[in-house]
Amino acid sequence: MGKTTLTRNLAGLLAADGRRVLALDLDPQAALSTACKIDEPGPGQSLADVLDARPGTADLGSILREVAPGLWLAPSDISLSVVELTLQGRIGRETILRRALAPLGPRFDLCVIDCPPGLGLLSVNALTAAGGVVIPTQASGLDVRAVGLFLDTVRQLQEELNPGLQILGLVLTFFDARTIHARDARAALHGADLPILGAIGRTTRLAEAMTAGRGLAEHDPGNRQNANLRSIANEVARWLTT
């Protein structure tokens, strides 16, 4: 939980620092597009049109929209769910996104990808194209075993498709350090030797910012969660330079 919220805010913060950031909305629910004020990409202007195998597909570079200074979005819409079904029968189906992204490398310092829930072919395409993975997970009711299983899948993917993929770590979302279960969750992750990149507490202002199409730093500069988001963005920035 909290994938799209984290993606939107990291993209916003890293772009505000002066980086050229590309944000890909790889979820047919298109919540990241909405959170960047793009509600309907328009015909031929969605990631679905890029990943589609039919003739006349769009070039990734041609659908990008600058949604804030330094922040470009590849928007999505519900038609991406139909395209995902067709990926199954394609040759090289796991590397379609990686190939689409390759020519854009020189234009950007960083690309962040918002994944759909689950490990379908869209998420596999994201993990095959990525240099690093950040895993937001809800601290309450945390299932350490499920996190472990997900990481096993990532490691398998590293072996088979993307040896360069690094696990940056987990981000505990809806984290309230005052509660016992949140502290237990953190301790259990430490105990299982799972890396924690950061934590974000609950605030309704984050949901509000998403609806307004903004990052929290812009929407509510005084909010306490800005420091937590900033610290995660700094970790990602540090990773970029390593």
Ligand X SMILES: Nc1ncnc2c1ncn2[C@@H]1O[C@H](COP(=O)(O)OP(=O)(O)OP(=O)(O)O)[C@@H](O)[C@H]1O
Q: Which spans of this chain sit near Mg ion (rule: CB under 5 A)?
A: 3-4, 31
Give the footprint of ligand X on this chain (CB under 6 A). Answer: 1-5, 27, 31, 117, 173-174, 200, 202-204, 206-207, 210
CB 117, min distance to Mg ion, A: 7
CA distances (Å), origin 86, targets 109, 127, 131, 209, 223? 31, 19, 26, 34, 43
Query: Using CB atoms, what's the residue nearest to Mg ion?
Result: 4
Residue 174 interacts with which of ligand X, Mg ion, none, CB < 5 to 8 Å by class: ligand X
Whose Cβ is closer to ligand X: residue 58's or residue 226's? 226
CB 132, min distance to ligand X, A: 18
Question: Distance (Å, rounded) from C-alpha 108 to C-alpha 71?
Answer: 10
Question: Distance (Å, rounded) from C-alpha 112 to C-alpha 133?
Answer: 10
Whose Cβ is closer to ligand X: residue 177's or residue 207's? 207
Give the number of C-alpha atoms closer than 13 A to the C-alpha of residue 73, restricted to the C-beta side: 31
Residue 183 interacts with which of ligand X, Mg ion, none, CB < 5 to 8 Å by class: none
CB 22, min distance to Mg ion, A: 18
Whose Cβ is closer to ligand X: residue 140's or residue 203's? 203
CB 100, min distance to ligand X, A: 21
Q: Which residues contact 11 (CB under 8 A, 6 or more apart)?
A: 21, 23, 71, 112, 215
Give backbone dihedrals phi and psi of 149, rounded to 5 degrees, phi first. -65, -40
